[in-house]
Amino acid sequence: MHVRRGGRDPKSGRVRGFQSETQRQNFMIGRARCCNGPNREMPRCAALTRLGQPCRAARMQNQQTCFRHNAAAKRSRLVAARLSGDLDRIQRAEMRAERNRLCVVWRRDPREPGKTIMLVPSDEASCQAWAARQGFQLDLLDRDLPAFSDAIRWIWARMSRGLISEGDLNVKLARLRSRMEANPCRRSSGMNVGDLYR
């Protein structure tokens, strides 16, 4: 992970970046507790997921649900971004819209090329090694079924930041494996999913 040391913020006078590995770890522990993870201590979203289970994400301030379960909030964020005139913000909103579009495409055909997450080289190496231990060959998946290698990178990224508990991780991996098994494209492409994970 990139660590920028030294240098002070001219406004607040605070030293930028993590000053030690301990500080970084403490931050990640604190963040896992108060952002959207298994150890969170904030009020939960009141909505049900598509599987009929209660959503476990944080609810928004003065709202009963999380951002994902609030279509009006999503729309107004997009509109606000477009009206802001802030190019950076507009670009981020468009990237989000593009990522969402790709996820819809992937539900139909996981072979469509694309990526919604890019890891820095050192993280990519750790992710590849972890995926290999789980039996996934990321390089082959990148070539044949990018939807699944993308999903694996997201799982790794969230897990390595302490946002997924051990139990959730197993559930996610099992769901991913069954989606790969059920993937109808493997027959038409003559590809054997067994080659991609063991």
Residue 146 makes CB contacts below 8 A (sequence gap 6+) with: 106, 110, 111, 112, 113, 114, 115
- Cβ 41 to Zn ion, closest distance in Å? 17
Task: Tell me which residues touch Zn ion (CB under 5 A).
Answer: 45, 47, 55, 57, 66, 69
Given a contact cutoff of 8 angstroms between Cβ atoms, the answer to whether 67 and 73 are in contact is yes
Residue 1 makes CB contacts below 8 A (sequence gap 6+) with: 24, 120, 122, 123
What gap in Å lies between CA 13 and CA 119, rounded to an integer? 31
Q: Which is nearer to Zn ion, 141 or 163 (CB)?
A: 163
- Cβ 70 to Zn ion, closest distance in Å? 8
Q: Which is nearer to Zn ion, 23 or 49 (CB)?
A: 49
Q: Which is nearer to Zn ion, 66 or 145 (CB)?
A: 66
Given a contact cutoff of 8 angstroms between Cβ atoms, the answer to whether 57 and 45 are in contact is yes
- Cβ 176 to Zn ion, closest distance in Å? 21
Q: Which is nearer to Zn ion, 42 or 129 (CB)?
A: 42
- Cβ 52 to Zn ion, closest distance in Å? 13
